[in-house]
Structure 1
Amino acid sequence: MSLGGASLRAVAHFGAVGSTQTVASELCASGSPDELDGVALVADLQTAGRGRSSHRWDSPPESSGLLVSLIRSVPAATAGKVLPLAQHVASLAALRAVAAACAGPAAPGASARSASREGTAAPAPRMAIKWPNDLYVVGALPPAAGPADGAAGAAATEAAGGSGSAAAAASDVERALERHCGAPVRKAGGILCTVAQPTGRARGGLFLVIGMGLNLSDAPPGRGAVADVHGRTSDPALLRQRVLGHFCREVDSLWHRTVNGGGSSAWRDEYERAWMHAGQRVKLPGGEWLELAGLAETGGLVATDGFGGPLVELGTGNDTVDLMDGLVRVGKPQ
């Protein structure tokens, strides 16, 4: 498989697998950085896909999404600083990859969508980051285009692990996001980063496993896909290959800059331009309202009272931030 110059050691392709994240972690348990750094695992179907907070990720057969887990080694000296930034690096890399893979001549359907927007004030749909690890399509689609709602479903169908209705939960989440963004939102993908430590003779370092599920050409009803923003393609397999290659290359570039002293400062401005939370208000336990101002160096959130008061860092340590309900349990002065 050609990956367009991405810095990869190898790609392992599975027709079907329980979870690429689980298989990658098992490889890391007995492997070494020399063997595994830069290995990507890609699947057409996951039967036990994993998400954050014990959620699972369903990928029905014939999904047109990208399901990948990328293994990177982590220098022990910088692990404590850079690991909390990994999901943000991967989220930004995903948006860069989509933009690069879809650049050039318009995909089939893209020109029709552009024409249908002429004479209206509605902005074109865009892809955006929901902190800390989700990818969304933001913006209304022209009625003639409709969502990319293939019946097969896709990579980013999330179900709450064993509790309640996933559809109802997703509706609550997206209603809150829509109120803030002032536009329809549809989840198109997610990032899961886990840390694995070798055992036995291979001990001595850490591995970061970066997992991503992303809807490309089709999505279940109510979900989003890359095609909602860039138009459909006549060759979904080629699109998946291109997004994979660009994703691995962008992770490599951003991770290198993060690990080698830059932290999040090397890409934070770009990340904040791409996220969904500019100006979003959150409420502290005492009733005080704060306004989100950006991403902290730790990977948490920076907020302000909007009147020149001190910045407050949220989402670190024992903090719990629920951006859907606008609630914060603990705020720590920066």
Structure 2
Amino acid sequence: MDSPFTDLDRPPLREAALRRALLVPGGLWREVDVLPETGSTNADLARRADETEGLVLVAESQVAGRGRLDRRWTAPPRSGLAVSVTLAPNEVPVARWGWLPLLAGVAAASAVSRVSGVEVRLKWPNDLLVGERKLAGILAERAGTAVVLGIGLNVSLRQDELPVPTATSLLLSGAENIDRDPLLRALLRELEEWYTRWRLAEGDARASGLLTAYTEACATIGRRVRVDLPAGPALEGAATAIDDDGRLVVTGPDGPTPVGAGDVVHVRPAT
């Protein structure tokens, strides 16, 4: 593991300052830890998820990061944000917990856009985009009675460091600010605000305003898409809406068909 000061363009996060800013009386966040290196922040928190809600774990280097469907997520040390949190919305019906990764997308897109000056959009169900390129991904996993929510954001990756040609970073997108400290603070505050609003509405995405906010930020809506499914033929049509359960509604020759995130392998623009 390299020293945190070998790349002066990528300074380490300041754990003590983050704790002072985020651990406030009556707030959601109870603990903020920054690790120099770990395998997966989601896996680490999954082992502790039943302890309490409001744990925040950040890794400067994540060597076994995962996305949806166990896709690998890698980045050079301190070039991005790899953060996971624990949430336990026990007063919300479990059937509505599927909104949590979409809620995180709304919060992250809003926070990153505000701090960086870059217009960030959402690709259903769990990606943040700048233009057509992926800036960040979100992964939600059940862990006992809680949910571990992970966010991986590319901040200062250079062109030759991108994991795939279709990715991007805030640096490459011309961001006004790529300081990870204010980005992380804004992300966690926005996440707390949306989570509190959604929880007080007992997980009702329409009543909490989450459905409207997600639809407005979603770049998938209004496009013709091809939805690859685990079995059977792909579904092609126009992405016309997000329904009350967070599913993408694709309207094809046979009419509208809702598809859930757990039923989808890929969603791509239709050729």
The TM-score range, normalised by the shorter chain, is 0.7 to 0.9
For 1:240-255, list aligned pairs within 5 A: 240-255=180-195
Name structure 1 gaps, 5 residues minimum.
Answer: 104-124, 139-184, 198-205, 328-334
Return the alpha-carbon distance in structure 2 between the equivalents of residues 188 and 196 of structure 1: 26
Contact 1:40 1:71 in 2 (8 A): yes
Whole-angstrom CA distance in 2 between matches of 1:310 and 1:21? 38
> CA offset at residue 273 of structure 1?
2.1
Structure 1 runs (4+) deviating above 6 angstroms are 283-288
Q: CA RMSD in A?
A: 2.9
Local SS of the residue matching 1:241:
helix
1:295-324 Cα distance to aligned partner (Å, 9 max, x none): 111111123359xx964322378x546422
Indicate yes or no: 2:149 matched with 1:210: yes
Match of 1:261 in 2: 202
Please, what TM-score do these two structures have when normalized by structure 2?
A: 0.76
> What residue in structure 1 maps to residue 4 of structure 2?
none
- Seen in structure 2, the aligned counterparts of structure 1 residues 7 and 102 have a Cα distance that, compared at 3 Å, is farther
Q: Is the 8 A contact 2:225 2:268 kept in 1?
A: no
Answer whether contact 2:37 2:62 (CA < 8 A) is retained.
yes
Report 1:1-334 matches (<5 A).
1-2=17-18, 3=21, 7-29=28-50, 31=51, 36-61=52-77, 63-75=78-90, 77-81=92-96, 83-102=97-116, 126-138=119-131, 185-197=132-144, 206-219=145-158, 220-221=161-162, 222=165, 223-229=167-173, 231-233=175-177, 236=178, 239-259=179-199, 260-261=201-202, 263-265=204-206, 266-282=209-225, 290-304=237-251, 311-315=256-260, 319-320=263-264, 322-324=266-268, 326=270
Distance 2:86 2:264 in 1: 28
Structure 2 unpaired stretches of 5+: 1-16
Greater Rg, structure 1 or structure 2? 1
- Contact 2:124–2:218 (CA under 8 A) maintained in structure 1: yes
Q: CA deviation at 1:216?
A: 1.4
Count of matched residue pairs: 238
Distance across 2 between alignment mates of 1:253 and 1:50? 26
Q: Percent identity?
A: 28
**Aligned-pair distance for 1:77?**
5.0
- Which letter does structure 2 place at the counterpart of 1:78? P
Measured in 2, the distance between the counterparts of 1:54 and 1:292 equals 25
Deviations along 1:231-263, one digit per CA (max 9) or x if unpaired, are: 254xx5xx2111211211222221222222352
Question: Secondary structure at the residue paired with 1:227?
Answer: coil
Q: Distance in 2 between matches of 1:28 and 1:11?
A: 14
Paired with 1:217 and 1:275, the residues of 2 have a C-alpha distance of: 24
More helix by share: 1
* Partner Cα separation in structure 2 for residue 272 and residue 256 of structure 1: 19
User: Shift of residue 26 of structure 1?
Assistant: 0.7
TM-score (norm 1): 0.63
